[in-house]
Structure 1
Amino acid sequence: MANKITYKTLQAKKNVEQIVCITAYDALFASIFDKHVDLILIGDSLNMSFNNESDTLTIGMDEMIYHSKAVCRGANRAYIVGDMPFGSYHSIEDALKNATRFYKETKVDAIKLEGGKEVAHIIKAIVDSGIAVVGHVGLKPQMARSEGGFHVQGRDEASIERVFNDALEVEKAGAIALVLEGTISSLAKDLQRELKIPLIGIGAGNVCDGQILVWSDAFGFFTNFKPKFVRRFLNGAELVEGALKKYVDSVKTKDFPGDEETYL
């Protein structure tokens, strides 16, 4: 725990060193990632990548708490952030109840919620209660169903102004960092210069203070579709399937278990 990353660690990296972030949903992968990344997010994206849902809306607090507990058991170095699911912060009362539950039942360092000006008062209330908050503006996955899909933000002046002002409101409300998703890179560049808190990009170009990807996207396990901003650093699904075929063949031919795997 001597090298535990805190929000002060992240803040010190702004304009100095890129912040590396990734999602995790269980203790096994969290323990692998923990040695190498600065921040681990238990994202509600697991509803799509692992529950095979079309969006993030149907996951609830119980599931997010369950996965957050697992990640916190697997990681003890990285800064850990848990996503507040859709419907858990529509009012200050609900937001405080659910954010407090996150802090009491898990060991997350912060919670993350989506929205700008419209949730700034909620962010402030959570921060004032002693809970760290990471904001999320730009493309907001929890709004995908009502907005008819996942759309890049900043394609026109009105969108640029809205996202820019949302980011400033989230910072003013007390967020310790901000995720910027699905925006044109020039907007991200302007925000990185303007904001005093770290700006973490996903689909916002390389001008942010750091980057985050969903791990199953980055390592090729989720193959239903591939967003433009994703780079696959591993063909994980192919590798696992290849290994599985070897296992199946070994069992069918009685090559496994062999003498070395048998108690004699």
Structure 2
Amino acid sequence: MARVSVPALRARKGGEPIVCLTAYTAPIARHLDPHVDLLLVGDSLGMVVYGFDSTLAVTLDMMIAHGAAVVRASRHACVVVDLPFGSYQESPQVAYRNAARVMSETGAQAVKLEGGAEMAETVAFLTSRGVPVMGHVGLLPQSVNALGGYKAVGRDPASAERIRADAQAIADAGAFSIVIEGTMESLARQITEDVAVPTIGIGASPACDGQVLVTDDLLGLFSDFQPKFVKRYAQLGDAVGAAAAEYAADVKTRRFPGPEHCFGVKKATA
């Protein structure tokens, strides 16, 4: 099975919506792969997998390890790996060195980076050297300290215009698609109309050319908080807890393991 390619995704502008989900591990990637066009190995793994308070502690080595696992476990989806905080902001040259390492060590098809007009030079530098780039504008999790927390952006005309300009700059620099996160719906709709490349919404607009969610949110693995933009398609957190409770009860009462789970013991017959 041939993977969905970067050019194929770019050609989906204004066409069939692009289906994206995050994946950080081989088992999850294997389950998602037949159903999605794009698997995003997001630096959100810092919070989802490692329990950090933000994405800022995620390292390049972490992203490479998880990116490689997702690539190995998938066959169909295009795999995009986030460049973590501090790995690309210093200069286009540093960004290229780190992006090239991600591409070569994971086998991913593209990288993603956050930022607007200030990152346009870096996007152009990478794309002109054979590194496909997905952009990311609006709410930028790597800038959480500067933003003062995770909250929707583009509420006032000045900030909305700045985000529109950021998206246009990244598209003009050569990004093949742009994630729009945590913006007013009308702003995401306008950006989608403005730029010539597909937009991928998360807390944005149904008018975007595609949608992405954190898979653990979609599956209901977090019970303490549900963002407004998340639709839960399962409540696996409850199922995991129930299975663990049943297992614990079986162990304590010696119902598990039974004869059928042991080597060299024949199960009693009636």
TM-score, normalised with respect to structure 2: 0.94
Corresponding residue for residue 148 of structure 1: 148
Corresponding residue for residue 261 of structure 1: 261
| Structure 1 residue matching 2:201: 3-state secondary structure | strand
Higher mean C-alpha displacement, 223-232 vs 139-148: 223-232
Q: Which amino acid aligns with 2:49?
A: F
Corresponding residue for residue 42 of structure 2: 43
Paired residues of 1:139 and 1:152 also in contact (CA < 8 A) = yes
Could you tell me how far apart the structure 2 residues matched to 1:208 and 1:126 are?
25
Corresponding residue for residue 239 of structure 2: 239
Unaligned stretches of 5+ in structure 1? none
Corresponding residue for residue 55 of structure 1: 54
Paired residues of 1:44 and 1:85 also in contact (CA < 8 A) = yes
Kindly indicate whether residue 66 of structure 2 is the aligned counterpart of residue 70 of structure 1.
no
Paired residues of 1:49 and 1:222 also in contact (CA < 8 A) = no
Deviations 1:156-190 (CA, angstroms, capped at 9, x unpaired): 11011101010110001000110000011111111
Corresponding residue for residue 82 of structure 1: 81
Percent of counterpart pairs with the same letter? 45
Could you tell me how far apart the structure 2 residues matched to 1:123 and 1:258 are?
59
Q: Which amino acid aligns with 2:4?
A: I
Could you tell me how far apart the structure 1 residues matched to 2:223 and 2:43 are?
18
Q: Which amino acid aligns with 1:154?
A: G
The aligned length equals: 263
Deviations 1:126-158 (CA, angstroms, capped at 9, x unpaired): 111111000000000000112210121110110
Paired residues of 1:55 and 1:145 also in contact (CA < 8 A) = no
Could you tell me how far apart the structure 2 residues matched to 1:86 and 1:224 are?
26
TM-score, normalised with respect to structure 1: 0.96
Q: Which amino acid aligns with 1:165?
A: A
CA shift, 1:65, in A, is 0.6
Could you tell me how far apart the structure 1 residues matched to 2:77 and 2:135 are?
18
Paired residues of 1:43 and 1:82 also in contact (CA < 8 A) = yes
Could you tell me how far apart the structure 1 residues matched to 2:110 and 2:245 are?
41
CA shift, 1:249, in A, is 1.4
Corresponding residue for residue 110 of structure 2: 110
Show the 5 A alignment for 1:72-221: 72-90=71-89, 91-221=91-221
Corresponding residue for residue 27 of structure 1: 26
RMSD: 1.2
Could you tell me how far apart the structure 2 residues matched to 1:28 and 1:143 are?
30
Deviations 1:114-137 (CA, angstroms, capped at 9, x unpaired): 001000000110111111000000
